[in-house]
Structure 1
């Protein structure tokens, strides 16, 4: 212990500092990720709150991959795999330095679930604070506020002559006017909502925009709260429980969260000893009983993350679904979840165009759907909240691609026509490897005006901002000899989101013949991706590492 203090003193600490709880602050600041650009400022306010409450803060960093920056090149293969590096790195830092408590400061896609996985694994007092969402840009396209994906949509419009090159570049300059996580109900904001819904963030904090001064006050309060948690002995597994996970799944169905949330909630649940099959069962159950009561881009063409915050955010939705919430779930405040959301005061008032009620839902279909069929014998995932009613049942002819790059090229060359079902395979956890997002193909189809007359299915993932008719996470994946590998150009496919079916209209006998002739050569890999491809399980298992 003396040598430990001696080394801390080299950093300017004093003996008095060690009479107080030593609280680690892990933030994922970088100059690369817009959702993390403000995290130094957030962490400083967390430190101030820890000092105020009588603790000693010690800060360290972790990696953070931005899906938007890494998409459409080999970097996309590293996004999902980064989640486990985040979790492992935080575990190592917290255990190696015997921290009394932990504040997790992040915002984006794989960083937030990695942080929550680490908290569940460590089971020490832990709390999460988000960096906040980005504000929307000027109106674009269908007159909604532009967002970080509008440039890709504009690219499709430019390719079909709908806008000029100057208009394309103008929207790329204006659609991200501030720092923060992207403006829609994509994975970043969905995961911050999940952290609050689990009880791991202070009430109402998930969706405060990055540039609001309320974000700084929430950070300060987070610092105070972690010290209180340490003194009470309130740990992560007191909060992350089967009941809080079930409540969180219900909330995700109600708000139309990102499809990626299914993978990440399974992975978080695995850290507390739950089987992923059990968690997928909950997704299926609540996907058939919880309606959509919140509409945020991409489910809405008018309202974004800032509007969701002003409408009351997570507490407002929790109040509306109170009748189906399991009561008695502990939170970081030391109060039960229902106490928190009933006490929360929204200074902006209700907006029933953003958050409605169970009695008057925007759709009786849940925001997420787990699907089955002969293409997906295990499971597949769709997001009804982002699928227009006219294409929730879609029948078309397959156009097959064995990589995202090949699909993008065909779409950019305008080879995809109305009635096509674009099939992108060998992009699953093992096949890609790393299960990259098929974000760009969907955005190009949208920009070309094909989002309501084509569909896309894949064993890869999607961005939470995608809309159109799409199904991802098809399991088993093509690289694991899943039936998606056997689809041929021209095959008829039915996507029935309402009945949660994904059907290839080819006989079992014909599929058996195709399988006998199927050959697969895994990619030659090195480094982390080689180890990842060896150890990763399928999407329906949360893409966890065995």
Structure 2
């Protein structure tokens, strides 16, 4: 006898009759009312290439779920993308949309009491948003990575979205003499189809994280969008989710254990993934009610997990080569001795069982541990008097620079203000650029700093200054010594709010600190002068977000169990 589904109500009851009427118009039969109801979470949007193919994937997923004996219901969410929706309100809609996605899904799926979910993840914030919803709702869920975009060539050279971005910023700063016509030609060749950025940025990092966590089918990440491999994963996921509901009742919190998070952290370190994965994994752990400190995990494993792969922009190899070499599954095979192999996955099998037949097709692209590219970490967490809770430094794969920097501060309160100063040659070699007011509360939603990173590089200052900020930057940007996501942020009264021009700041990445070299007595005077007033005059969604968001090391998001308390 099959178990009773939570979506199934007594035939003849008022709830049953009303659903029968609503769903009957959609083609749902009386027989279907007894089948598993599966949400297909679709962040489709015409605003960017990242999401342009999701409607087609949702249609194929519906077919797969129906064939497996389930009833699919497509639900929509917000769809943020850095290159488009970062234009408004200092980029505040990017990170904040992640938490909006979680609530979108809760309203639709929990309100209807559906039995399971398939999450179609694409651009970077949709991935953690949908994962977080899975952790919050805790119903059987599979994540399907919908792939990276094909890149092109420009006059015989590789051209992707990062190449275009760097060339455009360098043109603005005067570092190159590219014409508008040439830039337009680059734009026409950087993206040749739908999907996420074709590099080891946040999107592909988070796709890989899904598999490392056990929430995506093994061997499914990364993947070229609309490729046969992707379509095969769609079919398999549609079949598996129905089976999970009927047979296993395997839920996200059975999978999202401390061991799963440890595996994800190790994989991110081994591929030099995006620093944005740190805050996303921490927010996911909180939603899944998993007692794990992701920031501490990155510190714990930083010096133990070797760097096994260098994919653009970290190295010269492409994401296509990484996929062909075996992708996330191959990386995990190489890391097998370090991994928590008993962690459960959506297959109903453990990591060890999933890796049993894994093959590494090219050990130059995905190195074995004994031939690692580097032993030192590419993601380093730093603390100190300027970042008591944390700050994050991303290092290049082949980085042989001196990882210490001491210099006087030059302080800015917006990315545009800082970029303008760079373009006017007001930022000088030897300075520490301090950019504040861009944290989760300060923007609100976290301002984007990438334009400043590229502007400094465009002026030839990337190696001659250091940058310390409390905002976020693209997973594709990796220039110079940058201490990112400093916490507590300035808007929360952190030491960032006390820095003045000329203050000496010391950074030592190897010793893991960033310090503000100002006597505590002077800081106390400055702290007494701080005005307790709103940092911004935002209204609408961003005002709500600013009021409810938590500090990054705690969650960096709006948690289900804190929302009503915060509102009161």
TM-score, length-normalised on structure 1?
Answer: 0.94
Specify the alignment match of 2:395 in structure 1: 384
Specify the alignment match of 2:10 in structure 1: none
CA distance in 2, matches of 1:541, 1:385: 27
**Deviation at residue 31 of structure 1 after TM alignment:** 0.8
Report if aligned partners of 1:311, 1:355 keep a CA contact under 8 Å in 2. Answer: yes
After superposition, the CA RMSD in angstroms is: 2.0
Q: Deviations over 1:99-122 (max 9, x none)?
A: 121111121121111111111111
Specify the alignment match of 1:76 in structure 2: 91
Alignment of 1:297-446 (within 5 A): 297-300=312-315, 302-345=316-359, 349-352=361-364, 354-385=365-396, 388-446=399-457
Flag the 1:69–1:419 CA change in 2: closer, same or farther, 3 A. Answer: same
Specify the alignment match of 2:103 in structure 1: 88
SS in 2 for 1:516: helix
Specify the alignment match of 2:548 in structure 1: 535
Flag the 1:172–1:289 CA change in 2: closer, same or farther, 3 A. Answer: same
- Return the match for 2:253 from 218, 231, 237: 237
Specify the alignment match of 1:181 in structure 2: 196
- Return the match for 1:250 from 260, 266, 278: 266
**Deviation at residue 445 of structure 1 after TM alignment:** 2.1
**Deviation at residue 454 of structure 1 after TM alignment:** 2.3
- Return the match for 2:174 from 150, 154, 160: 160
Specify the alignment match of 1:464 in structure 2: 475
- Return the match for 2:491 from 474, 479, 483: 479
Specify the alignment match of 1:145 in structure 2: 158
Specify the alignment match of 1:495 in structure 2: 507
CA distance in 1, matches of 2:511, 2:53: 43
CA distance in 2, matches of 1:96, 1:72: 33
Report if aligned partners of 1:106, 1:130 keep a CA contact under 8 Å in 2. Answer: yes
Flag the 1:527–1:72 CA change in 2: closer, same or farther, 3 A. Answer: closer
SS in 2 for 1:382: strand
- Return the match for 2:295 from 280, 286, 289: 280
CA distance in 2, matches of 1:110, 1:192: 11
CA distance in 1, matches of 2:37, 2:235: 17
**Deviation at residue 330 of structure 1 after TM alignment:** 1.3
**Deviation at residue 386 of structure 1 after TM alignment:** 6.1
Flag the 1:312–1:25 CA change in 2: closer, same or farther, 3 A. Answer: same
Report if aligned partners of 2:175, 2:459 keep a CA contact under 8 Å in 1. Answer: no
Q: Deviations over 1:308-336 (max 9, x none)?
A: 21221111110111111112111111111
Is there any run of 5+ residues in structure 1 with no aligned partner, and where?
Answer: none
Flag the 1:364–1:161 CA change in 2: closer, same or farther, 3 A. Answer: closer
Query: Within the alignment, does 1:120 sit opposite 2:135 as a pair?
Result: yes
CA distance in 2, matches of 1:251, 1:208: 17
CA distance in 1, matches of 2:532, 2:182: 44
Q: Which moved more, 1:223-232 or 1:267-276?
A: 267-276
Q: Which moved more, 1:520-529 or 1:38-47?
A: 520-529
Specify the alignment match of 2:46 in structure 1: 31
**Deviation at residue 78 of structure 1 after TM alignment:** 1.2
CA distance in 2, matches of 1:155, 1:521: 37
Flag the 1:386–1:152 CA change in 2: closer, same or farther, 3 A. Answer: farther
**Deviation at residue 2 of structure 1 after TM alignment:** 2.5
**Deviation at residue 392 of structure 1 after TM alignment:** 2.8
SS in 2 for 1:332: coil
- Return the match for 1:228 from 215, 237, 243: 243
SS in 2 for 1:170: helix
SS in 1 for 2:385: coil
Report if aligned partners of 2:154, 2:185 keep a CA contact under 8 Å in 1. Answer: no
CA distance in 2, matches of 1:146, 1:490: 41
- Return the match for 1:169 from 184, 193, 199: 184
Report if aligned partners of 1:258, 1:464 keep a CA contact under 8 Å in 2. Answer: yes
**Deviation at residue 58 of structure 1 after TM alignment:** 1.6
Q: Deviations over 1:250-271 (max 9, x none)?
A: 1111111211111111111112
**Deviation at residue 136 of structure 1 after TM alignment:** 2.8
**Deviation at residue 126 of structure 1 after TM alignment:** 0.5
**Deviation at residue 400 of structure 1 after TM alignment:** 1.0
Flag the 1:307–1:392 CA change in 2: closer, same or farther, 3 A. Answer: farther
Report if aligned partners of 2:333, 2:359 keep a CA contact under 8 Å in 1. Answer: no
Task: Give the number of equivalent residue pairs.
Answer: 539
Report if aligned partners of 1:377, 1:476 keep a CA contact under 8 Å in 2. Answer: yes
**Deviation at residue 351 of structure 1 after TM alignment:** 4.2
Q: Deviations over 1:117-156 (max 9, x none)?
A: 111111111101011011233269xx97332232331133
Flag the 1:476–1:92 CA change in 2: closer, same or farther, 3 A. Answer: same
Report if aligned partners of 1:152, 1:447 keep a CA contact under 8 Å in 2. Answer: no
Q: Which moved more, 1:436-445 or 1:374-383?
A: 436-445
Report if aligned partners of 1:150, 1:172 keep a CA contact under 8 Å in 2. Answer: no
Q: Deviations over 1:193-244 (max 9, x none)?
A: 1111111111121211114221111111111111111122111112111111
CA distance in 1, matches of 2:540, 2:334: 48
